[in-house]
Structure 1
């Protein structure tokens, strides 16, 4: 009987993403314009648990969530954005089968049962640079 209980305990623990999975995940961001990598863009990654910043190409460790990860990058005349979809990982499904609803709720709330893609490519578009004011040597004259 003790062996059966021990085996059941091990099965429950291996199925629970909140125990066996990580709540943080590294993601790499690359910025591309017309099939060429463009470096040096400032990127903000945001989900419902926080915001992280990097200069492309680079990696950052984000807090996992069930919410998607929004990526916004810009520098000079380049801008781009992408969305990394949060997908459930295998541990969360094992938890549903073995542990039931309570473990799934814990995994969902901590983000441990969900993953983002490891690499995110942000396709850039070029925007028109704002016009700079032109200095003139003219002086205004008040006429009465």
Structure 2
């Protein structure tokens, strides 16, 4: 007994095995929307422990005590890292997102760039460096103390 499928259905089923190849360039479908980062803080060429850092981009905000690891949501927008510890100035680093060239080429070839637009919006085709180092700076105690003790009233 022979099964017969109507024309459009048989064509669809014959293309089904090629579907993973067609969607392979789309990072939205193939890549994770999150990424793990390892953060470190450095003061005078030495690593500093116990520094609290807040990371944020247009997809959310995350907190980590460095050195440590944190999982963030990927985005095409930069990631801002702000760190603070007693006795040190607030430090800030901005880490740019980089496009994944493999998925970008797949998107251009397979979807004529349409997949790239989807990935840019979702952030799936982008990533941040796996290791981020924040440069800390010690508070200059003498200047800081003078600033705190300054009186703003005129002397007669």
Same fold per superposition (TM over 0.5): yes
Q: Under TM normalisation by the shorter chain, which class is it?
A: 0.7 to 0.9
Contact 1:69-1:86 within 8 A present in 2 as well = yes
Q: 1:14 aligns with which of 13, 16, 24?
A: 24
Q: Distance in 2 between matches of 1:105 and 1:42?
A: 35
Match of 2:115 in 1: 103
Match of 1:72 among 69, 78, 82: 82
The two structures have a TM-score, normalised by structure 1, of: 0.82
Paired with 1:42 and 1:125, the residues of 2 have a C-alpha distance of: 14
5+ long unaligned stretches in structure 1: 135-144
Contact 1:66/1:111, CA 8 A, preserved across alignment: yes
Q: Which has the higher helix share?
A: 2
Q: In structure 2, how many angstroms separate the alpha carbons of the residues matched to 1:114 and 1:93? A: 13
Runs of 4+ more than 6 Å apart? 1-4
Look up the match of 1:94. Answer: 106
Unaligned runs of 5+ in 2: 1-10, 150-156
Say what the alpha-carbon RMSD is for the aligned residues: 2.2
The 1-side partners of 2:111 and 2:25 are apart by 7
Give the number of equivalent residue pairs: 134
Once the 2 structures are TM-superposed, how far is the Cα of residue 29 of structure 1 from its aligned partner? Answer: 0.6
Alpha-carbon contact 1:12-1:95 (below 8 Å) kept = no
After TM superposition, the score normalised by the length of structure 2 is: 0.76
Residue of structure 2 aligned with 1:127, choices 139, 142, 151: 139
Q: Distance in 2 between matches of 1:99 and 1:11?
A: 11
- Which moves more between the two structures, 60-69 or 119-128? 119-128
